[in-house]
A and B are shown apart, each in its own frame.
Chain A
Amino acid sequence: MKTFKALVKREFWEHKGSFFYAPAVMVIVFAVMLVVFGLSGDRLIIDGEHEISFSEQLPKVVSSFEQLPEEAKEKAVTIGLSAPAMLFGFVMLFISMFYCLNSLYEERKDRSILFWKSLPVSDIETILSKFVSVVFLVPAIYFAVIVVFQLFILIYVTVGSWFGGGSGVTIWTASNLFALWFNMLVAMIGGSLWLAPLWGWFMLASSWAKKVSFLWGGLPIMLVIVCEGYIFRTTEFAQLIGERIAEGFAIQNYALYQLAGGDILDFEVNSALHSFVSAEFWGGLIVAAVLLSGAVYIRRFRDES
C-alpha cells in the first residue's frame, strides 16, 4: 500500500503541469477576466451597437433572479456553476488521453524505465498506479480546482448583487452546494471510469509504441473502422467508440445534460451512480482490464537495448 501511494505520488510529481497547473491557470485566467470585466468593462460594445453595462446589468440580473420561483433559481444556479465545470471536464479528458498515451512510452524513450525497474515494484503495481491516476487522481484534482472556481463565481455574483442593493444570499441557498459537489465528484470519476476501455487501449498502445505513441493509439482504431466499412459496409465500430465517448462526456456533465432536456444524444444517458449498475459499465472495466494486462505483459517482457 505504501508502495502504491508512492507510485501515485510519483505520477503526480511527473505530471504536475497537466494534472494541476493547467486547471489552476485556467481558474486564474477566468477569474482575472471576470474581475477585469467587472471593474473596467463598464461599457462593452458588441457589433458597435449593443451596449452592455456590466456593473449595471449584474445587479439587475441578480434581482430578477431573486424574483424567480425556487425551482427555476436552482436550475439557473446549477447551470451557472456546471457550465464552467464542463469546460474543465473537457480539458481533463483531453489531458487524460495524452497522459495515457505517454504513460508507458516516455519511460522507454528517456530510458528511465531502467531506473524504475531497478526497484522492487512489480509491473502490475506500476500500471495500476497509472490507471488509478487517470480515473481517480485526475478527476479529484480537477474537481477540487472547479470547486474553487465555483466558489469564486458565487462570491463574484454576490458582490455584484451588493452594488444593486441585494444581499446575494438567495444565490447561495439556491445552489445546494454540497449536493452539487457530491454529484459533480461522482460524475467526474464516473465519466472517467466509463471511459476506462479507452484509457486501457491508450496505455496498451503506449507500452507497444516504438515511436510517436499517439499514432499507435489512433491508427489501429482508424484501420478497424476503414476495414469494417470496406468489407461489411457498416460503421458499428465507429459508432461503438463514438457513443462510448459521448456517453462518458454526458455522464461527466450529467447535471447539465439533464437540465438541457436529456435528449441531445439519441440514446439514454444515466447518471454516474446509475451507470455503476449497468452492464456496459462493468463490461468496459473488463475490457480495460484485458487491455491493461496486455500492457503489463509488454512492459514485463519487452526487451530493448
Chain B
Amino acid sequence: MSTIIRANGLSKSYGSFQALKNVNFTVERGKIVGLVGPNGAGKTTILKAILGLTSYSGELDVLGLEPSKQRHQLMQKVCFIADVAVLPKWMKVKEAVEFVTEVHPHFNLDRAKHFLNKTNIKLNSKVKELSKGMVAQLHLALVMSIEAELLVLDEPTLGLDILYRKEFYNQLLAEFFDEGRSILVTTHQIEEVENLLTDLIFIRDGEIVLDSSMEEIGDKYVEVMVSREDAEKAKALNPVMERDVFGRKVYLFEGVGREQLEALGELHSPSVADLFVAKMKEGK
C-alpha cells in the first residue's frame, strides 16, 4: 500500500485566525476518506492546500509533489470537484469536452462520451441551460474520464436533489473507484457517504480529533441502549455521549470492552453522525 497524501505539521493562518494547527494525517492508495467537520473547522483549507490553491506552512506531499509549487503537474494526477456550480456557464457541453481533451494528457474521450450518452445532456447545450443535477452529471462525467490517482470532492452534492445525490455516489463507486485510486470527500450529508467510506477524519477548530479506519471505529465505539434503571451503571463507565430515545437512554462508549457493555443492554454501532456530534462536543 502506498501513501498518496502525507501532511506533517500542516498549518495555515488567515491573519490572527489559525485555520489549521499543526495537522498530521495520511491518505493511502485505495481508500475513500471522509473529511468531516463543522463550518469553519478547516476542511476546505486542507483541501485547498492539497490542491495547491492556497499557501501553507509545514510539510505536504501529494503523490510526490509539493502542491503549492507544482499545482499544474499535480493536476495531471489529481481531479477535483469543488462544488456543483463551477463549470463556466457560457461554455457549451461539447466545448468543455473538447477543452479537457486537449489540455489533459490522461483524459479518455470515449469514456466521457459513454458517460454522457447515459444522460439527457445535449452536446450543443450551454452549461447555463442545464439543470443543477445535469451540471453535476457533466462534471462527474469529465472527471471520471480522467485517469486520476486522487479525486478530491468538496461538498459535491450540495444543492442537488436526492435522486442525483444517490446516483452521484453510486456512479462514482461503480465506474471510477478502484484499488489504485483514492477519494477524499468532505460533505455535510454524512449519512450519504457513511457506507462508502473506508476511513474517517474529524476536524474541529483546525485540529484533527479523530483519524481512523471504519473498522477501527466499529471496534472502538459502541452504542448501548439502556433502560432508565440501569442509567447510573452506564454513567459509571464514562460514556462520551448520552441521548434519549423512546424513553430509554442511549450511551456512546469509547474503548470500553464489549462484554462489560453487553450486560447493560443491546449494542449497536454508532452512526457516523452520532459519533460526529459526540466528538464535536467532547471537552466543551
A interface list, Cβ under 8 A from B: 2-3, 5-7, 9-10, 13-14, 107, 110-115, 117-123, 125, 300-301, 303, 305
27 contacts between A and B (CB under 8 A): A6-B103, A9-B99, A13-B90, A13-B95, A111-B82, A111-B86, A114-B80, A115-B86, A117-B51, A117-B53, A117-B71, A117-B75, A118-B75, A118-B80, A119-B75, A119-B103, A120-B72, A120-B73, A120-B75, A120-B76, A120-B103, A120-B105, A121-B75, A122-B71, A300-B71, A303-B48, A303-B54
Residues of B within 8 A of A6 (CB): 98-99, 102-103
Residues of A within 8 A of B79 (CB): 118
Residues of A within 8 A of B98 (CB): 6
With A111-B82, A118-B81, A118-B82 already in contact, 11 other A-B pairs whose C-beta atoms are closer than 8 Å: A6-B99, A13-B91, A14-B91, A112-B88, A114-B82, A114-B86, A117-B53, A120-B72, A120-B73, A120-B76, A301-B54
The CA of A2 and the CA of B100, in the complex, are separated in Å by 11
With contacts A6-B103, A7-B103, A120-B72 known, is A110 near B89, CB below 8 A? yes
Is B104 engaged at the interface, CB distance under 8 Å to the other chain? Answer: yes
Range class of the B interface residue count: 20 to 34
Is B44 engaged at the interface, CB distance under 8 Å to the other chain? Answer: yes
With contacts A3-B103, A6-B99, A110-B88 known, is A122 near B72, CB below 8 A? yes
Within 8 A of A (CB), among B51-81: 51, 53-55, 71-76, 79-81
Q: Most chain-B Cβ atoms within 10 A of its Cβ — which of A10, A114, A121, A122?
A: A114
Residues of B within 8 A of A117 (CB): 51, 53, 71, 75
Residues of A within 8 A of B139 (CB): 115
Closest A residue to B105 by beta carbon equals: A120
Q: Most chain-A Cβ atoms within 10 A of its Cβ — which of B53, B91, B100?
A: B53
Is B190 engaged at the interface, CB distance under 8 Å to the other chain? Answer: no
Shortest C-beta distance, B94 to chain A (Å), equals 10
Residues of B within 8 A of A121 (CB): 72, 75, 103
The CA of A117 and the CA of B90, in the complex, are separated in Å by 17
Residues of A within 8 A of B88 (CB): 14, 107, 110, 112, 115
Residues of A within 8 A of B95 (CB): 10, 13
Closest B residue to A113 by beta carbon equals: B86
Closest B residue to A115 by beta carbon equals: B86
Shortest C-beta distance, A25 to chain B (Å), equals 19
Residues of A within 8 A of B103 (CB): 2-3, 6-7, 119-121
Within 8 A of A (CB), among B191-238: none
Is B85 engaged at the interface, CB distance under 8 Å to the other chain? Answer: yes
Shortest C-beta distance, A299 to chain B (Å), equals 11
The CA of A305 and the CA of B44, in the complex, are separated in Å by 8
Contact indicator A5/B72 (Cβ below 8 Å)? no
Contact indicator A120/B104 (Cβ below 8 Å)? yes
Is B10 engaged at the interface, CB distance under 8 Å to the other chain? Answer: no
Shortest C-beta distance, A286 to chain B (Å), equals 25
Q: Most chain-B Cβ atoms within 10 A of its Cβ — which of A5, A14, A119, A122?
A: A119
Closest B residue to A124 by beta carbon equals: B72
With contacts A14-B88, A111-B85 known, is A3 near B102, CB below 8 A? yes
Is B87 engaged at the interface, CB distance under 8 Å to the other chain? Answer: yes
Contact indicator B105/A112 (Cβ below 8 Å)? no
The CA of A237 and the CA of B231, in the complex, are separated in Å by 81
Residues of B within 8 A of A305 (CB): 44
Shortest C-beta distance, A64 to chain B (Å), equals 51
The CA of A2 and the CA of B102, in the complex, are separated in Å by 6
The CA of A6 and the CA of B102, in the complex, are separated in Å by 6
The CA of A123 and the CA of B52, in the complex, are separated in Å by 12
The CA of A115 and the CA of B90, in the complex, are separated in Å by 13
Shortest C-beta distance, A12 to chain B (Å), equals 10
Closest B residue to A14 by beta carbon equals: B90
Q: Most chain-A Cβ atoms within 10 A of its Cβ — which of B72, B81, B87, B100?
A: B72
The CA of A114 and the CA of B44, in the complex, are separated in Å by 13
Residues of B within 8 A of A301 (CB): 54-55
Residues of B within 8 A of A122 (CB): 71-72
